[in-house]
């Protein structure tokens, strides 16, 4: 069952990221796609996370006080999958924020795609890339790109 949750989470997250990237191509559905990718899917992952933590926490060893404790915590398969869903949920939430902020700032959507890929694969690196991109474009054309 945990393998199914892990694999299913990956498939659902990939589809959500594709929807987020494709949303501007479907202007009539853009808001729905963003809501699905950035809210509905993260909430689905959050519910699975809470369920896994609720059923795995008490039997898991470890905690958050040291690297060794975190390593021991993730030796529990339930806590490992919960941690993975945590990453998937928050990365999607951040990706949707990037999409909205990029649109609000007038950034070309194609320039956001690498930020999405980085956020999906390396979380904070995508957020950093977006913030740097927005700052660089704001400096180049302040009248066209606003924060």
| Domain range list for the chain | 2-138
Closest among 124, 123, 99 to 112, alpha carbons compared: 99
pLDDT at 138: 83
Long-range contacts, 78-84 (Cβ 8 Å, 24+): 78/2, 78/52, 78/53, 79/52, 79/53, 81/2, 81/5, 81/6, 81/9, 81/52, 82/48, 82/49, 82/52, 82/53, 82/56, 84/6, 84/9
pTM score above 0.75: yes
CB contact set of 64 (below 8 Å; sequence gap of 6+) = 70, 73
Residue-wise pLDDT tens digits, 1-17? 999 999 999 999 999 99
Query: Which long-range contacts link 82-86 to residues 24+ away (Cβ below 8 Å)?
Result: 82/48, 82/49, 82/52, 82/53, 82/56, 84/6, 84/9, 85/5, 85/9, 85/45, 85/46, 85/48, 85/49, 85/52, 86/45, 86/49
Q: How do residues 86-138 score in pLDDT, each as one tens digit?
A: 999 999 999 999 999 999 999 999 999 999 999 999 999 999 999 999 999 98
């Amino acid at each position: 069952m945990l393998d199914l949750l892990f694999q299913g989470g990956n498939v659902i997250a990939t589809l959500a990221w594709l929807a987020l990237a494709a949303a501007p191509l479907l202007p009539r559905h853009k808001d729905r796609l963003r809501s699905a990718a950035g809210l509905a899917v993260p909430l689905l992952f959050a519910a699975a996370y809470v369920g896994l933590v609720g059923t795995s926490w008490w039997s898991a060893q470890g905690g958050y006080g040291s690297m060794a404790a975190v390593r021991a915590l993730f030796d529990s398969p339930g806590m490992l999958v919960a941690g993975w869903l945590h990453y998937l949920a928050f990365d999607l939430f951040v990706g949707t924020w990037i999409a909205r902020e990029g649109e609000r700032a007038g950034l070309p959507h194609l320039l956001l795609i690498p930020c999405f890929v980085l956020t999906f694969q390396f979380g904070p690196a995508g957020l950093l890339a977006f913030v740097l991109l927005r700052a660089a474009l704001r400096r180049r054309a302040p009248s066209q790109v606003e924060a």
